[in-house]
């Protein structure tokens, strides 16, 4: 009978030792990454997120955003997941989870059970991780990203830098987000030819290549 009663106590002690080890590992890894990120001025911070690569096509004044191919369910799921998960979230979760777990295990005399300690540590880690993750996302959205997106090239006036005619490829120069950029270009119309210095308009941008029409054709099309 005594041996049977001792089994739960042994299991509880084993669980407590296991959870304590996990708390230590999380606190050391998460806290260490936070310290490294702080010491390097945030350069080591990996705010991992998933971005979809979109192409922009303009036809008869209508702008449509479409995936190179089609945006499948897996890509849509990844985009949704990135709103809640990132390496930043994981790091803060680990650090807070470990520290809170250790604090309740060692630094209090309230007799908090192992199960309650785990629950509180999980909630604290998730809450702090999400708060930090969402705050950083909000700051990034409001401050703006200087990295050009495909749609930033569309409907922009450009100048031919390397002459070309369909179906050959040339090069055009244009201002995108305040910076002059040189991008490969092809003619949208099969009979079009452009000399160096000609004014053209980018009507779509796919795979790093601009599709252009002459300025006159664009103005006629869009009135």
* Domain definitions of the chain by residue range: 2-49+86-143, 150-222
Pick 42 or 206 by higher pLDDT.
206
Q: Which residues pair with 157 in a beta bridge?
A: 201
Render pLDDT for 84-93 as a digit per residue (tens, 0 to 9): 888 889 999 9
Q: Quote the CA–CA distance of 141 and 109 in Å, as a whole number.
A: 44
Render pLDDT for 94-125 as a digit per residue (tens, 0 to 9): 999 999 999 888 876 556 788 888 999 999 99
| Confidence (pLDDT) at 55 | 38
Q: Quote the CA–CA distance of 218 and 199 in Å, as a whole number.
A: 11
Domain 150-222 CATH class label: mainly beta
Query: What is the number of other CB atoms lying within 10 angstroms of the CB of residue 127?
Result: 13
Whole-model pTM: value is 0.48
Query: What is the number of other CB atoms lying within 10 angstroms of the CB of residue 200?
Result: 27
Confidence of residue 61 (pLDDT cuts 50, 70, 90): very low
């Amino acid at each position: 009978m005594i041996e049977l009663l001792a089994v739960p106590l042994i299991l509880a002690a084993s669980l407590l030792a296991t959870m304590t080890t996990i708390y230590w590992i999380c606190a050391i890894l998460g806290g260490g990454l936070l310290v490294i990120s702080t010491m390097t001025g945030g350069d080591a911070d990996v705010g991992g997120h998933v971005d979809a690569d979109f192409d922009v096509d303009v036809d008869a004044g209508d702008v449509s955003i479409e995936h190179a191919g089609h945006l499948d369910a897996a890509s849509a799921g990844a985009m949704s997941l990135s709103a809640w998960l990132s390496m930043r979230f994981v790091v803060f979760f680990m650090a807070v989870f470990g520290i809170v777990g250790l604090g309740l295990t060692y630094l209090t005399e309230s007799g908090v059970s192992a199960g309650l300690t785990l629950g509180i540590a999980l909630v604290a880690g998730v809450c702090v991780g999400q708060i930090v993750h969402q705050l950083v996302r909000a700051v990034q959205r409001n401050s703006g990203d200087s990295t050009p997106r495909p749609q930033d090239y569309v409907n922009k006036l450009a100048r031919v830098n390397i002459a070309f005619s369909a179906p050959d490829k040339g090069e055009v120069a244009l201002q995108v987000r305040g910076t002059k950029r040189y991008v490969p270009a092809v003619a949208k119309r099969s009979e079009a030819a452009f000399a160096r210095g000609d004014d053209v308009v980018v009507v779509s941008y796919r795979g790093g290549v601009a599709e252009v029409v002459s300025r006159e054709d664009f103005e006629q099309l869009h009135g």
